[in-house]
């Protein structure tokens, strides 16, 4: 891998990169940075957690003149949390150069944002809804924008932001430099690319498997009503440093986070119905480790980078393979390992196999953890904590009493009592969650784009004309209109698909759930 010195960057930008602790560039950075520095339009695809933010951030910061007092660059992101995070990384990269950037997203006081805009930021990082709001109020002008970046472009399309993005881009001069980035690139992205990019270069570093390689992937087959108990055992057994648990709906997330709290876990929920203040507070607590478990809807599936996330659990199966790839990609980032567990009810097994085929990765089956394994896991944590104290010699003031006790009692009995006291006892609180309908593959057609595709297209994660839906009734999850066309690839097994069709049709877009007031 190249070091950052080899890109011909300004010293102040290099210094920022060094301060951030980056030594070598990642594969996507190595490919994308030189092209972006030349001003080429790009479609950049690389696995989750491999540094796509800096792949566009570094050339952007390098290019902008500090003397500039207009908005010259615009980065669009699908969620508020991601806009905040990307803004932080851009801020770090531009620190020594003195570049001014500003996140603009829904839920934050608009008057405050208007005040911040008066400080003349050169880069705006925003979610489409709030950006349009500012554009309409004339508090943001895009006439001087030279660079546009769409992070998680495919998700923004999926959420129904196409019109908003179109309206925004119409206001940006045509001579602009445009780049799209995501770990997944379904075929409908091509339409967006054709419309908004000029002879884009496809920069893809996706090897055979789309999901990040450092993530161990498992699934557990269970009944819906067993999920919560199995989750508690799993968390006890695995003892994650930090974990993200994905639920299908907002109600699910609320119930699950409450249930975990009742059982004594330090968990909180994140979804689009919380106030921005609450969302910020939850993310802050998760990032600083004051809670260990974040329970979330897909609002946390894309782009979020929290170091220390060792585990992802799909408490409910995700709607589609892209969502699976992004959810599990919250762990196994920046060269670290991670583990992803997916709960699957028997009726959802087809859906799981579908995800396996499209991500070209076999997810290993695991039995449900036993109570004994859960108990062992909890003891192990206690023992590790004790050994840490021993190794760091941090318990000197307790030694006198220890010696006295050891003269009178058996050492094993004493240590066992100490372990018992320190081990988090499971609170036997009864917990009931509203069951979710199983997720089923609704309709499958043969792979209509399995032939005549460009040779490199196999590296793009894409879908057949599939619709995913749940059963009927109840409060159903938002659904994506499965009107994407195109295929996975010739080897993707499209023709082997069973042509069953299930369920009823529904076409509410994801936006109806988590992304209003974006």
Ligand X SMILES: Nc1ncnc2c1ncn2[C@@H]1O[C@H](COP(=O)(O)OP(=O)(O)OP(=O)(O)O)[C@@H](O)[C@H]1O
Determine the Cα–Cα distance for residues 397 and 399; give it in Å rounded to an integer.
6
Q: Which residue is nearest to ligand X (CB)?
A: 51
Specify the residue, 158 or 348, whose C-beta has the smaller distance to Mg ion.
158
Determine the Cα–Cα distance for residues 83 and 179; give it in Å rounded to an integer.
16
C-beta neighbour count of 260 within 10 angstroms: 22
Q: Does 54 bind ligand X (CB under 6 A)?
A: yes
CA-to-CA separations, 162 to 78, 107, 150, 455, 489, in angstroms, rounded: 11, 21, 12, 28, 26
Q: Which of 50, 62, 257, 359 binds ligand X (CB under 6 A)?
A: 50
302-331 positions binding Mg ion, by CB under 5 A = 303
Q: Which of 133, 305, 436, 447 binds ligand X (CB under 6 A)?
A: 305
Please report how close the Cβ of residue 211 comes to Mg ion at its closest, in angstroms.
15
C-beta neighbour count of 139 within 10 angstroms: 14
**Partner touching 249 among Mg ion, ligand X, none, CB below 5 to 8 Å by kind:** none
> Quick one: which of 109, 29, 122, 125 has its CA closest to 77?
125
Contact 324, 359 (CB under 8 A): yes
Specify the residue, 28 or 232, whose C-beta has the smaller distance to Mg ion.
28
Specify the residue, 214 or 414, whose C-beta has the smaller distance to ligand X.
214
Q: Which of 94, 329, 338, 469 binds ligand X (CB under 6 A)?
A: 329
Please report how close the Cβ of residue 197 comes to ligand X at its closest, in angstroms.
19
> Quick one: which of 114, 174, 116 has its CA closest to 139?
114
Please report how close the Cβ of residue 234 comes to ligand X at its closest, in angstroms.
23
CA-to-CA separations, 314 to 173, 344, 371, 472, in angstroms, rounded: 42, 9, 21, 22
> Quick one: which of 305, 240, 235 has its CA closest to 81?
305
Q: Which stretch binds ligand X (CB under 6 A): 23-31, 167-175, 223-231, 415-423?
A: 23-31
Contact partners, residue 277, CB within 8 Å, separation at least 6: none
> Quick one: which of 480, 508, 510, 463 has its CA closest to 78?
510
**Partner touching 54 among Mg ion, ligand X, none, CB below 5 to 8 Å by kind:** ligand X
Three-state DSSP at 471 gives coil
**Partner touching 57 among Mg ion, ligand X, none, CB below 5 to 8 Å by kind:** none
Size of the site for ligand X (CB under 6 A): 18
Contact 245, 381 (CB under 8 A): no
Q: Which of 25, 62, 211, 319 binds ligand X (CB under 6 A)?
A: 25
x-marked contacts with ligand X along 285-304 as a string, rule CB under 6 A: ------------------x-
Determine the Cα–Cα distance for residues 24 and 8; give it in Å rounded to an integer.
14
**Partner touching 50 among Mg ion, ligand X, none, CB below 5 to 8 Å by kind:** ligand X
Determine the Cα–Cα distance for residues 193 and 200; give it in Å rounded to an integer.
8
159 burial via Cβ count (<10 Å: 0-12, 13-18, 19+): buried
Q: Which of 52, 130, 271, 463 binds Mg ion (CB under 5 A)?
A: 52
Please report how close the Cβ of residue 119 comes to ligand X at its closest, in angstroms.
26
**Partner touching 329 among Mg ion, ligand X, none, CB below 5 to 8 Å by kind:** ligand X
Q: Does 78 bind ligand X (CB under 6 A)?
A: no
CA 177 to chain CA centroid, nearest Å? 26
Residue with tokens 């050169």: 122
Please report how close the Cβ of residue 230 comes to ligand X at its closest, in angstroms.
27
Please report how close the Cβ of residue 52 comes to Mg ion at its closest, in angstroms.
5
Q: Does 359 bind ligand X (CB under 6 A)?
A: no
Size of the site for Mg ion (CB under 5 A): 2
- The DSSP bridge pattern shows strands 267-270 and 293-296 to be parallel
**Partner touching 127 among Mg ion, ligand X, none, CB below 5 to 8 Å by kind:** none
Please report how close the Cβ of residue 11 comes to Mg ion at its closest, in angstroms.
26
Q: Which of 44, 49, 103, 503 binds ligand X (CB under 6 A)?
A: 49
Q: Tell me 328's DSSP state.
A: H
What are the backbone dihedrals phi and psi of residue 444, each rounded to the nearest 5 degrees, phi first? -130, 135
Specify the residue, 51 or 470, whose C-beta has the smaller distance to Mg ion.
51
Please report how close the Cβ of residue 61 comes to ligand X at its closest, in angstroms.
14
x-marked contacts with ligand X along 180-209 as a string, rule CB under 6 A: ---x--------------------------
Residue 131 structure tokens: 């950006």
**Partner touching 314 among ligand X, Mg ion, none, CB below 5 to 8 Å by kind:** none
Specify the residue, 106 or 303, whose C-beta has the smaller distance to Mg ion.
303
Residues that bind ligand X (CB under 6 A): 22, 25-26, 29, 46, 48-54, 183, 303, 305, 329, 333-334
Residues that bind Mg ion (CB under 5 A): 52, 303
């Amino acid at each position: 891998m190249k070091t950052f010195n080899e890109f011909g960057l300004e010293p102040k930008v290099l210094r920022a990169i060094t301060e951030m602790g980056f030594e070598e560039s990642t594969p996507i950075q190595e490919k994308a940075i030189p092209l972006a520095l030349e001003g080429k339009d790009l479609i950049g695809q690389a696995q989750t957690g491999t540094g796509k933010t800096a792949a566009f951030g570094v050339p952007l910061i390098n290019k902008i003149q500090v003397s500039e007092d207009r908005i010259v660059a615009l980065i669009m992101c699908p969620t508020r949390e991601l806009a905040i995070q990307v803004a932080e990384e851009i801020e770090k990269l531009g620190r020594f150069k003195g570049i001014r950037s500003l996140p603009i997203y829904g839920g934050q006081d608009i008057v405050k944002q208007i005040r911040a805009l008066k400080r003349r930021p050169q880069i705006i990082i925003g979610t489409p809804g709030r950006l349009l709001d500012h554009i309409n109020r004339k508090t943001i002008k895009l006439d001087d924008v030279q660079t546009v970046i769409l992070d998680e472009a495919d998700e923004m399309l999926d959420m129904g932001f196409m019109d908003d993005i179109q309206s925004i881009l119409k206001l940006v001069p045509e001579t602009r430099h445009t780049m799209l980035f995501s770990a997944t690139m379904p075929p409908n992205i091509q339409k967006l690319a054709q419309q908004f990019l000029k002879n884009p270069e496809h920069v893809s570093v996706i090897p055979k498997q789309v999901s990040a390689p450092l993530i161990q992937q498992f699934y557990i087959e269970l009944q819906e009503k067993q999920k919560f108990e199995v989750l508690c055992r799993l968390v006890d057994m695995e003892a994650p440093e930090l974990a993200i648990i994905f639920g299908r709906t907002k109600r699910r997330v609320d119930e699950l986070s409450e249930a975990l709290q009742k059982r004594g876990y330090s968990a909180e929920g994140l979804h689009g119905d919380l106030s921005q203040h609450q969302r910020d507070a939850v993310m802050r607590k998760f990032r600083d480790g004051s809670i260990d478990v974040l329970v979330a809807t897909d609002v946390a599936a894309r782009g979020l980078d929290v170091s220390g996330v060792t585990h992802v659990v799909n408490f409910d199966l995700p709607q589609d393979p892209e969502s699976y790839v992004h959810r599990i990609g919250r762990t196994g980032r920046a060269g670290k390992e991670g583990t992803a567990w997916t709960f699957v009810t028997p009726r959802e097994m087809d859906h799981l196999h579908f995800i396996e085929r499209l991500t070209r990765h076999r997810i290993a089956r695991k039995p449900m953890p036993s109570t004994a394994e859960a108990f062992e896991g909890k003891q192990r944590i206690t023992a590790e904590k004790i050994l840490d104290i021993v190794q760091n010699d941090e318990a000197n003031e307790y030694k006198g009493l220890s010696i006295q006790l050891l003269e009178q009692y058996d050492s094993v009995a004493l240590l066992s009592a100490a372990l018992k006291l320190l081990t988090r006892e499971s609170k036997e609180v009864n917990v009931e969650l509203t069951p979710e309908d199983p997720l089923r593959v609704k309709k499958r057609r043969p792979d209509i784009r399995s032939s005549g595709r460009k040779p490199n297209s196999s590296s793009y994660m894409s879908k057949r004309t599939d619709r995913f839906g749940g059963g009927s009734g109840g409060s159903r999850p938002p659904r994506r209109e499965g009107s994407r066309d195109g295929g996975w690839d010739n080897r993707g097994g499209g023709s082997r698909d069973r042509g069953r069709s299930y369920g009823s049709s529904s076409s509410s877009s994801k936006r109806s759930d988590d992304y209003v007031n974006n």
